[in-house]
C-alpha cells in the first residue's frame, strides 16, 4: 500500500484491559515507535517487552491471542478503533500514519474475556456442533468412494470453506449477543458463520445425509429466523464469504423443509 507513514513517529495505543473473567475493565495507554511495516501484533509485542504506560507507570504486560500471523486462524481478532478485524494484518502505517496518532484496541464484546484482549470463542465452535458441521463417514468398514461432486457445487463450497471461525461476523451482528451462561447457548442466535456452514455441508453429496437435522436446528429458537437482515456480517467478513447469500439459501431450504415436514412428519 502506498501510504506514506512518518518514520520514527510515536503511535499511542489505547488498550482496554481486564484482569480475568467477570473482572471490571479499565484502560491503559502506551506509546510505541513502530518498527518498519509494523502490524498491531508486532506493536503489542513491543509493549509486552516494555510494559510501561504513557504516564510512566509499570504495569503487567497486556495479554492477547494469535496464531498464524497471516489471517487464516482468526485467533487475533479484536475490535480496532471500534470495528472488528484481525490484528495480525492490521497495518500500523495505514491506521496511524502520523506522529501522535492513536489506535484503540478492545477485545471482542460478544465473547467472554479471558484476559485483556484475549477472548474465549468456545461458543462459536459449540455452534458448529449444533448444526452438525461435519460429513458423516464413521463406520466399522471402508465405505468406498463417495458420490461425485459437480464442479459448480465445488465452486460454491470452496468459497464457503474459507471460513476460519474468527467471529467477526458475530461481533458486528446486531442480533448476536454475548451469552456467558453455557446452558443458554442452544437457544441463542447462532450467527451468520454457522448458517453459512449449514449451506456448506448441505451442498456436499455425503454431507447432505444430515441435511434434515441441520434444517431442524435452523428452524428452532436461535436458528435462522432470528437473523434481522442487517447484513453487517457480510461486510466485515475478512474472507468475503457471501454470508447473506447463504442466509437467503438456507432461508429457502428451511421454508421448503418446514412445509414438507408439516405434511410428512410423523
Partner 1 sequence: MGTEPGFFKRHHFLLRRLHSLSGIVPIGLFLVNHLLTNSTIAWGMINSRGAEGLPPSVIEQVGQSTAMRVGTFQHEVGFINNMPFLILIEIALWVSIAFHAILGVYYATSGSPNVKHYAYQDNWRYSLQRLTGYVAILYIFYHVATLRWGWTWLTPTDEPWTYERASSTLAMALRGQMTGLSAGGMAVSLFYFIGITACVYHFANGLWTAAISWGLTVSESAQKRWGYVCTGFGAALMLLAWASLIGFLTIDIDDARQVEMSKHATTAATDQNALVEHLAAAETE
Binding site for partner 1 (CB under 8 A): 82-83, 172, 174-175, 177, 187, 219-221, 223, 225-232, 235-236, 242, 244-245, 247-256, 258
User: Contact region for ligand FES (CB under 6 A) — 74-82, 195-203, 207-215, 221-229?
Assistant: 74-82
Residue with smaller CB distance to ligand HEM, 61 or 228 = 228
For residue 209, CA distances in Å to 52, 213, 214 come to 56, 9, 10
Are 115 and 20 within 8 A, CB to CB?
A: yes
Residue 168 binds ligand SF4 (CB under 6 A): yes
CB atoms closer than 10 angstroms to residue 152: 9
Residue 108 binds ligand SF4 (CB under 6 A): no
Give the Cα separation of 214 and 218 in Å (integer): 6
Residue 128 binds ligand SF4 (CB under 6 A): no
Residue 78 binds ligand FES (CB under 6 A): no
Give the Cα separation of 116 and 96 in Å (integer): 22
Can you give the binding site for ligand HEM, defined by CB under 6 A?
A: 228-229
Residue 75 binds ligand SF4 (CB under 6 A): no
Q: Which of 166, 188, 215, 253 is the binder for ligand SF4 (CB under 6 A)?
A: 166
11-18 and 77-80: which strand pairing? unpaired
- How many residues are there in the chain? 266
Amino acid at each position: 500500500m502506498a501510504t506514506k507513514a512518518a518514520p520514527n513517529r510515536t503511535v499511542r495505543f489505547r488498550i482496554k484491559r481486564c484482569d480475568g473473567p467477570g473482572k471490571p475493565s479499565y484502560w491503559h495507554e502506551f506509546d510505541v515507535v513502530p518498527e518498519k511495516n509494523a502490524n498491531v501484533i508486532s506493536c503489542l509485542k513491543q509493549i509486552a517487552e516494555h510494559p510501561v504506560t504513557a504516564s510512566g507507570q509499570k504495569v503487567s504486560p497486556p495479554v492477547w491471542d494469535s496464531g498464524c500471523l497471516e489471517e487464516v486462524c482468526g485467533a487475533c481478532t479484536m475490535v480496532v478503533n471500534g470495528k472488528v478485524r484481525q490484528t495480525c494484518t492490521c497495518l500500523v502505517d495505514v491506521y496511524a500514519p502520523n506522529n501522535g496518532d492513536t489506535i484503540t484496541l478492545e477485545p471482542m464484546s460478544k465473547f467472554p474475556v479471558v484476559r485483556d484482549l484475549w477472548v474465549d470463542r468456545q461458543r462459536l465452535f459449540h455452534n458448529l456442533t449444533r448444526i452438525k458441521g461435519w460429513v458423516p463417514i464413521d463406520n466399522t468398514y471402508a465405505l468406498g468412494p463417495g458420490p461425485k461432486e459437480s464442479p459448480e457445487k465445488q465452486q460454491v463450497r470452496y468459497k464457503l470453506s474459507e471460513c476460519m471461525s474468527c467471529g467477526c461476523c458475530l461481533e458486528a451482528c446486531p442480533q448476536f449477543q454475548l451469552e456467558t451462561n453455557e446452558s443458554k447457548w442452544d437457544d441463542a442466535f447462532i450467527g451468520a458463520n454457522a448458517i453459512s456452514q449449514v449451506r456448506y455441508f448441505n451442498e456436499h453429496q455425503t454431507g447432505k445425509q444430515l441435511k434434515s437435522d441441520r434444517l431442524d436446528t435452523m428452524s428452532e429458537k436461535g436458528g435462522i429466523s432470528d437473523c434481522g437482515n442487517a447484513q453487517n456480517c457480510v461486510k466485515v467478513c475478512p474472507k468475503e464469504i457471501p454470508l447473506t447469500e447463504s442466509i437467503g439459501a438456507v432461508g429457502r431450504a428451511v421454508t421448503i423443509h418446514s412445509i414438507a415436514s408439516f405434511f410428512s412428519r410423523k
